[in-house]
Amino acid sequence: MRQCQTTHTKCQQVRARNNLNPFVPTRLVDVSTDRIHIIESAKAGLTNEPYVTLSHCWGKLEILRLIDDNKARLLDPKVGIEWHELTNTFRDAITVTRQMGIKYIWIDSLCIVQWSSVTAHGDFHQQGQLMHKVYRKSFFNIAAADSSDGSGGLFRPDLKQKDEGKKQEAIKERERNLPEVVELDGQENTKGNWYILQGDYWDRHLLDKILYTRGWVFQERMLAPRLLHFSKTQVLWDCATVSASEGLPAGLPAQLDIKSATERHWRERLSMIWEDSAAIGKVQELRAGTADDSLEGFWREAVRNYTRCELTSYTADRLKAIWGVAKLVRDGLREEDGDSSELEEYGSGLWRKNLYMQLSWRVVKPNTAEKVRPDDLAALHPSWSWASTIGEIELQPRNPSILEQCYKVKNHKGGKVEFEITPAEKDDLQPDLARKELAINGMVVKGFWDGKGKMVRSPAFAQDMLDNMDFFPDVVMAEEQVCYLLVLWANENRQGGGIVDHGDHLDEYSDCSDAELEVRLPEQVIHNSGSGLMLLADGREGTDRFRRIGAFRFHGLHKEETGLLVNPEAEKNIWIV
């Protein structure tokens, strides 16, 4: 930690940026005295004091929670919290905080007033949406990576002795079986002792641990400036400069550092985004990078990683648990847009600009409707939002292709397809949709699901078209289930045609005279590619209301074939709910 503070230039810059816009959480746990108690930061006059955060699994173990009934006691410095009331994880985290010389720690169950009854809802609705600041502005984060609940704690006191024995056995085994000279691929043989590490070292020792399967922890890990991970076999740590462990204290070797280096890069990039709309000269840094190193690309990968994780309550937390990352990406996109008159907006997990291209997101592993889109979640979020589903999601790029886009759906008035939001009272709070329906004008083609062929058949188009179409249902569909196809957009790819001159040195034109330099090639062949939605009628047949049931894409269709899916004369106004 001392080395990070004094020698890591990137980490010093992150701290300096945080100091420009100081923040302390609403409440903190004061561990500076024997009488541990909760303080309200504003009343205590705290403005920029360092504090530690904790990432942990609640599990099924009953833990001490701040509620209306015990709030007065836990905030009283003369009474406070008894040591025996704390779980092993909380005790160990407090011990680490004290050993680092820091007075305060933020623990979610103790610093957010929790729900306790139908008349005492707590303040998670407000405080939960500030968690991105809580972790982002912390000094470092403690992660109980290998504890499924509070009984697990951070420390493994008997581990060293066990591992020492295993280590000696491994050394003897190596001496018996490994050659003295290890041949390195493409390099000169080198004599000496070599450590052989698993290629998935970081996953095996950290990311595969139970804590990192939890949805809320995804943004905690992405936003904290430093992380101290207490795993089963060792302590590992991360900052903006290095990822290391007890076994590799100087940092991961380059071959093992690919995934961790990517996360470090994005922690640093996200730290460059300002919470306030006024950018302070860092926009160019934010924009740096290739197309694969853009905020757009990061967001798609972030959603995929986040949706692999689990949540205790999908109805309450599906969008809340990633809002911190979404807010920073939104603010970064606004910075990139500069003085654009149309600010980027975020709604229900998607972006307002080029929304039509984002609607064809894909459920990676379809399952039964009860598991992928349970009724309570479907009632809360519109079907066109990935938030209405459970499971891993693959988002689609939303930047129009360099190919000519020949078609896109519009709204009922011929304008852009957009959601409507109710702006939040404060910039930190997640905006709500003003209405869940999307108004779309497009052509709807009726078809039937062929489970064996995993395709939608329709009398409206030829069988051989299906060779160039891929279907991605959200859920397991019934055989011959009626569904409808709606093309969202299509690109035009022209092949052949144009003019070739003698300079191309084509053999067939080598005898041309100077007067015959220009030769016409055959007419252009136009192919179309694009994507769309699989829909179910929301009610009786003939309705104008539909629900999403999946997505599809097509490629290499001739213009005439595409016309069977996109016909301006057959377009109508529909609502996707």
**pLDDT, tens digit, for every residue of 291-345?**
346 899 999 999 999 999 999 899 889 999 999 999 999 999 998 877 666 889 9
Residue where one domain finishes, among candidates 272, 297, 322 = 272
Based on the domain organization, do 354 and 457 belong to the same domain? Answer: yes
Per residue in 87-131, pLDDT (tens digit) is 999 999 999 999 999 999 999 999 999 988 877 888 998 888 888
Instruction: Give the pLDDT score at 129.
Output: 83
Q: How does residue 159 score in pLDDT terms, banded at 50, 70 and 90? A: low
Residue where one domain finishes, among candidates 244, 272, 300 = 272
Answer yes or no: is 284 within a domain.
no
Answer yes or no: is 327 within a domain.
no
Write the DSSP string, 264-300. Answer: HHHHHHHHTS-SSSS--S-HHHHH-S-GGGSHHHHHH
Based on the domain organization, do 369 and 262 belong to the same domain? Answer: no
Answer yes or no: is 53 within a domain.
yes
- Domain extent, residue 12, equals 2-158+200-272
Based on the domain organization, do 453 and 565 belong to the same domain? Answer: yes
Based on the domain organization, do 409 and 557 belong to the same domain? Answer: yes
Residue where one domain finishes, among candidates 236, 253, 272 = 272
Based on the domain organization, do 265 and 374 belong to the same domain? Answer: no
Token pair belonging to 78: 């003369």
Count of domains for the chain? 2
Q: 3-class secondary structure for 175-215?
A: HHHCCCEECCCCCCCEECCCCCCCCCHHHHHHHCCHHHHEH
Reduce the DSSP state of residue 25 to 3 states and report it.
coil
Based on the domain organization, do 253 and 375 belong to the same domain? Answer: no
Per residue in 411-464, pLDDT (tens digit) is 999 999 999 999 777 767 889 999 999 999 999 999 999 999 999 999 999 889
Based on the domain organization, do 246 and 391 belong to the same domain? Answer: no
Answer yes or no: is 189 within a domain.
no
Question: How many Cβ atoms sit within 10 Å of the Cβ of residue 191?
Answer: 8
Interacting residues of 247 by C-beta distance below 8 A, sequence separation 6+: 234
Strand stretches in 49-99, DSSP E: 51-55
Closest CA to 60 of 85, 87, 28: 87
Q: How does residue 571 score in pLDDT terms, banded at 50, 70 and 90? A: very high
Based on the domain organization, do 243 and 359 belong to the same domain? Answer: no
